Amino acid sequence: MNENIQELTTQKQLKEAFPILNQLRSDLTEESYFELLQEMQKDGYKLFALYHNEKIVSLAGVSWRINFYNKRHLFIYDLVTDSEHRSFGYGEKLLSYIHSWAKEQGADYVALESGLQRINAHRFYEEKLDYDKWCYSFRKTL
C-alpha cells in the first residue's frame, strides 16, 4: 500500500480535501469552506490528510488550545474518512499520527468533540483508541 500523511498547505491540496470534509460538514459550500478556512488558519488551524495511492482518504483538522483543565493541548475539530474508504483503518492511522505529532510538540492531551448521534464514532474513540468520555459540551444559538 502506498500511504502517507501530510499537512495540507497549498490551495490545490485544500481544494482536493473539500469533498471529503464536506461529508462531515455537509452544510459547507466550497465558498464558505475557503472563507472559514482562511480565518481558522490565522488562529493556527491545520488540516492533515492521509493519502492512499495519491488520493486523500482521511482528514484531521486540528488547532492548539490552552486552558486550565487541559493545559496546552491539541484540539481535533474535524476528523473524517471518505465514505468509500471507511473500515480500512485509515482514521486510526491518521489519529495515531496526530497523537504522536502532538506529543512531540509538547501536548499532554488531545481532545475532540463528537455529535451525540455519532454512536459508531464514540465506540471507535473509546474502544479502539482509548479516549475517555469525561464531559458534555454545550452551545446556545444566539
Predicted pLDDT at 122: 67
Closest CA to 102 of 64, 136, 133, 129: 64
Three-class DSSP category at 11? helix
pLDDT in tens, 49-73: 999 999 999 999 999 999 998 899 9
Predicted pLDDT at 113: 77
Q: Would residue 141 count as lying in a domain?
A: no
Q: Would residue 71 count as lying in a domain?
A: yes
Give me the number of domains the chain comprises.
1
CA 23 remoteness from chain centre: 13
Q: Would residue 133 count as lying in a domain?
A: no
pLDDT in tens, 12-23: 999 999 999 999
Predicted pLDDT at 13: 98
Strands 71-81 and 109-112: parallel
Q: Would residue 53 count as lying in a domain?
A: yes
pLDDT in tens, 95-137: 999 999 999 999 989 988 777 677 777 677 777 777 778 777 7
